[in-house]
Structures are given as structure tokens and as C-alpha cells.
């Protein structure tokens, strides 16, 4: 090489700034180089393929996902299938006990209401008999008017004695002493119960549910 060229080359080298390497930057560059190795790229690509195909980040994701779901359900207060079955079993037992008891209470309440209504009907019949006896009109025909008497009918013969009547009820039959006008027996029936009411000589009333019970 000519001497002049060597001198010019040396000047250029001398004029170029010298870059000093910083330890931190060297280590950082080494890390980047290490992360971008072909092996790392293959693993990252494989992991990305699994994620796209299965929606999971790793082959063992299913078990960890189940555990995570269980933990989330516990935190959110959810119920397991066993807990729901236990609750249903308890409710079934309670219903089996409560339904018959409730039906019994309803039947007793209906019977008590029918007893009260039969006494109201008996009072009305007794007043009617007394009025007809005093007017001298108490005959067998008057008693027949009380047979199968629909108390819901506003035009029935007892309309003046029972204010407003009694809905879905009737007097099935009446037995009375035509000489004294004293009521002896009355059978009353409403939508649910049939009641037999008898009157003793001293005026005591006895009531019992008729043997021909009506269906609930």
C-alpha cells in the first residue's frame, strides 16, 4: 500500500470517535440476544399455537381451570349439585309434613264456619216459625217452603230474617212442632260441609257434621 494512503487511513481512524462500552448496556444486549434465540422462538411459537387451538395457555390448563372455577364458585357463594339435592330433599320432607297438617286446619276451619252458619239459619227458621204460629198460618205447607231452601236467593222466605243471605248455602230439611212452633231439627249445607242441628226440649242445640260429607 502506498505511504500516502496509509497516512490518510491512520488519520481517519484517529478522527473517528471511540465508543466506550457500558457494562449495563452490554448485559442488556446479551439478555435480548439470549431471549431471541431460535429455541426460545420455537417454544413461543408452540405455546401460541396451543393457545389458539385450545384456548389454554398450557397443556395442564384444564385441571388448573377447574380448580380456579371451584374456587371462584366458593367465593361467589354458588351451590354444588350435592347441596342443591340436599335442599330439595329437605323441602320435600317439609312439604310432606306441612301439606296434610294444612289440609286438616282448612277442614276444621270450614267445619267451624258451617256450624256458625247453621246456627244463624236455625235462628232465622225459629223466628219464622214463631211469626207464622202467632199469625195462625203455621202449617205443613209452610214447613215445605223451608225444604231445599236456597239461602243465596234474595227472594227466599227467610230473606227478612237473614240479612244478605248466605252464599252457596241451603237448608236441606226442617222438622218442627206445629203446635208450639218449636224447631226440632235442621240440616244445613254449604259449599264444603253439611251440618245436622238438633234442638232438645230445653232448647239446647247439638251440632254434628252430617255423615254424607261433601268433597273438599
Burial of 214 (0-12, 13-18, 19+ CB in 10 A): middle
C-alpha cell at 10: 491512520
What is the model's pLDDT at position 70?
A: 59
C-alpha cell at 69: 372455577
Handedness of CA 94, 99, 104, 108 (dihedral sign): positive
Domain ranges of the chain: 98-209
Top-confidence residue, 216 or 158: 158
The predicted-structure confidence for 167-214, as pLDDT tens digits, reads as follows 789 999 999 999 999 999 999 999 899 999 999 988 899 999 875 545
Average pLDDT over residues 30-39: 53
The predicted-structure confidence for 54-100, as pLDDT tens digits, reads as follows 555 444 445 555 566 656 655 555 668 888 888 888 888 888 877 77
The predicted-structure confidence for 115-142, as pLDDT tens digits, reads as follows 999 999 999 999 999 999 999 999 999 9
| Cβ count within 10 A of residue 128 | 23
Give the span between the Cα atoms of 63 and 51, in whole angstroms: 15
Amino acid at each position: 500500500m502506498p505511504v500516502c494512503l496509509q497516512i490518510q487511513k491512520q488519520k481517519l481512524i484517529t478522527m473517528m470517535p471511540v465508543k466506550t462500552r457500558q457494562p449495563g448496556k452490554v448485559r442488556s444486549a446479551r439478555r435480548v440476544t439470549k431471549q431471541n434465540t431460535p429455541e426460545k422462538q420455537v417454544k413461543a411459537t408452540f405455546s401460541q399455537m396451543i393457545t389458539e387451538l385450545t384456548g389454554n395457555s398450557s397443556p395442564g390448563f384444564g385441571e388448573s381451570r377447574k380448580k380456579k372455577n371451584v374456587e371462584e364458585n366458593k367465593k361467589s357463594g354458588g351451590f354444588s349439585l350435592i347441596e342443591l339435592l340436599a335442599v330439595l330433599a329437605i323441602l320435600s320432607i317439609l312439604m310432606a309434613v306441612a301439606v296434610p297438617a294444612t289440609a286438616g286446619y282448612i277442614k276444621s276451619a270450614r267445619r267451624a264456619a258451617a256450624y256458625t252458619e247453621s246456627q244463624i239459619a236455625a235462628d232465622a227458621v225459629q223466628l219464622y216459625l214463631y211469626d207464622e204460629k202467632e199469625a195462625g198460618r203455621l202449617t205443613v205447607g209452610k214447613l215445605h217452603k223451608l225444604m231445599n231452601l236456597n239461602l243465596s236467593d234474595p227472594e227466599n222466605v227467610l230473606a227478612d230474617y237473614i240479612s244478605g243471605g248466605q252464599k252457596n248455602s241451603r237448608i236441606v230439611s226442617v222438622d218442627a212442632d206445629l203446635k208450639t212452633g218449636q224447631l226440632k231439627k235442621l240440616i244445613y249445607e254449604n259449599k264444603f260441609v253439611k251440618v245436622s242441628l238438633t234442638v232438645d226440649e230445653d232448647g239446647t242445640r247439638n251440632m254434628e257434621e252430617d255423615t254424607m260429607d261433601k268433597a273438599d
